[in-house]
Amino acid sequence: MKVSASFLSCQKIIPAIKKLSLTDVDYIHVDFIDGKFVVGKTIPFRKLKQISKVSSKRLDIHLMTNQLTKYIKKFALLNCEYITFHVEVGENIEKYIQTIHDYGIKCGLAINPSTDLEIIKPYLPMVDMVLVMSVVPGYGGQEFMPESVEKVKKLRNYLKEKELDVVVNIDGGITDKTIRDVKPFVDMVVSGSYITNSDDFQDRINRLRG
């Protein structure tokens, strides 16, 4: 199971990124919130751009905006493994998937807690990852929504049935406790405050991997 570390709840981003770089975390999860598509903590692109300068870790970008043409282009220049956007943008989804793939970057599709899994199904043959939100996006440090367990289980079963090779990832409120129920159904987890609220990031990452 892979671990992608989010720094959204950190006050000082660059020191947190430097500390994460010293761990064996798989990816750095970069939350981009424009304050319109999702209300919450916004960190401007110019600041996020600095991450690639202080870390050689591959980035896992989570775009919470519907200005996708503009931001895919900007983030694609960084050291990205994945660029993920929300199915809730509702239009031009296939076009954005193609744009991300044209940059040679893997594409993820995120789904909010209130959105039915059915909505995402037509796109599954085209994407590399699904990011199941286990909190309402906007802030780090929120409580895990337990109904997300059923969602990742259903998604995993559906992918198996259709023989689709798509990474199942979960984002929001992941700790050493909440991970237990989702672990059988996911390939990757995003974890923020659980890792960065500790002095020992590596210990928290080890606990998540179990």
- Part in contact with ligand DX5 (CB under 6 A); list of ranges 6-14, 73-81, 99-107, 147-155: 6-14
Site membership for Zn ion, residue 171 (CB under 5 A): yes
* Residue 80 near ligand DX5 by CB under 6 A: no
Q: Is 176 annotated as catalytic?
A: no
Binding positions for ligand DX5, 166-185, rule CB under 6 A:
171-174
Q: Contact region for ligand DX5 (CB under 6 A) — 90-98, 121-129, 155-163, 165-173?
A: 165-173
Residues in the chain, total: 210
Closest distance to Zn ion from the beta carbon of 131 (Å):
7
Residue 31 interacting with ligand DX5 (CB under 6 A): yes
- Binder of ligand DX5 out of 138, 153, 164, 183 (CB under 6 A): 138
Which residues here bind Zn ion, judged by CB under 5 A? 31, 62, 171
Which positions are catalytic? Answer: 31, 171
